[in-house]
Amino acid sequence: MTTRLLILWLLAEQPQHGYRLKAILTDAGFAPWFALEDASIYAMLRSLTKQGLARVVGEEQTAGRPARTLYKITPEGRRTLKEGLIDAFTIVHPRPEPIHAALAATDEFEPAELRSAYAARLLRVSKRLAKVREQALAAPTQSLVRREIALLEAETSWLNSELNNHDQQWGAPA
């Protein structure tokens, strides 16, 4: 859904070719926020074209380069984009994350291993939070930054609470 919305949105801005879309989506302003693979961009362009949400409007050629197919959003694509953006605001996906399996099976850990796992995750979340703050000005929108910071701060708080609970139950590490 994310790749589809991003490509439709960029095509709504102006006609684009796959290489240009790739350049935009891997730029410092987008890449930290959207994990997309190059192949998914081209596959999505083909899919959008088959579905009538985008159409080929020509080719662009620069010296010494192969011709690049230009795509443009269709009126149906604009409707689909608008509906998809509304859905994106309202749908909350109960997405299982790898940590959910680890949390369900905490009895498989020795106390010291569990504390170490929480501490390692806290370190990674803290690093991600610092990176988000560092990249905030390059983000497509500040709403995206504020949401990501809120989620990371909430996880940081939860992890600190888990570490405190662990230390109260098992004692602080030596």
Local confidence band at 172 (pLDDT 50, 70, 90 cut-offs): confident
What is the arithmetic mean of pLDDT over 71-87?
96
pLDDT for 53 equals 97
| 12 shares a domain with 84 | yes
Q: Which of 32, 62, 90 is the last residue of a domain?
A: 90
Residues 117, 83 share a domain: no
Is residue 107 located within the same domain as residue 158?
A: yes
Q: Are residues 110 and 165 located together in one domain of the fold? A: yes
Write out pLDDT tens, residues 86-140. Answer: 999 898 877 778 899 999 999 999 999 999 999 999 999 999 999 999 999 988 8
Q: What is the DSSP string of 102-168?
A: HHHTGGGS-HHHHHHHHHHHHHHHHHHHHHHHHHGGGSS-HHHHHHHHHHHHHHHHHHHHHHHHHHH
Could you tell me if 53 and 110 lie in one domain?
Answer: no
- What is the reported pLDDT for 55? 97
Domains: count for the chain: 2
What is the per-residue pLDDT for 174? 67
- Quick: pLDDT tens for 35-62: 777 778 899 999 999 999 999 999 888 8
Same domain, 6 and 86: yes
Structure tokens belonging to residue 129 = 């939070």
